[in-house]
Amino acid sequence: MIQTSIGIVMAFGIGVFCRWFDVPAPAPPKLVGALLVAAMTTGFLLTGQILGSG
């Protein structure tokens, strides 16, 4: 749980940094690309839980 919380905080921090300093965000700018990243992250987390390593 703590790792997930740290990951979410870091993700928002990187997003804020990129927006504040006009650095291109390290994520796809389209909705489909963002959904792909979310789906991959969800799959990664769920697989970790199923295998007991998360």
Q: pTM (2 decimals)?
A: 0.49
Question: DSSP secondary-structure letter at 17?
Answer: H
Q: What is the pLDDT of residue 26?
A: 67
Q: 25: which residues sit within 8 A by CB, 6+ positions away?
A: 15, 18, 19
- For residue 9, pLDDT beyond 70: yes
Alpha helix (H) ranges present in 1-54? 2-20, 31-51
Question: What does the mean pLDDT of the chain come to?
Answer: 77
Compute the half-sphere exposure of residue 7: CA atoms within 13 Å on the CB side of its CA.
7
Alpha-carbon gap, residue 25 to 15, rounded angstroms:
7
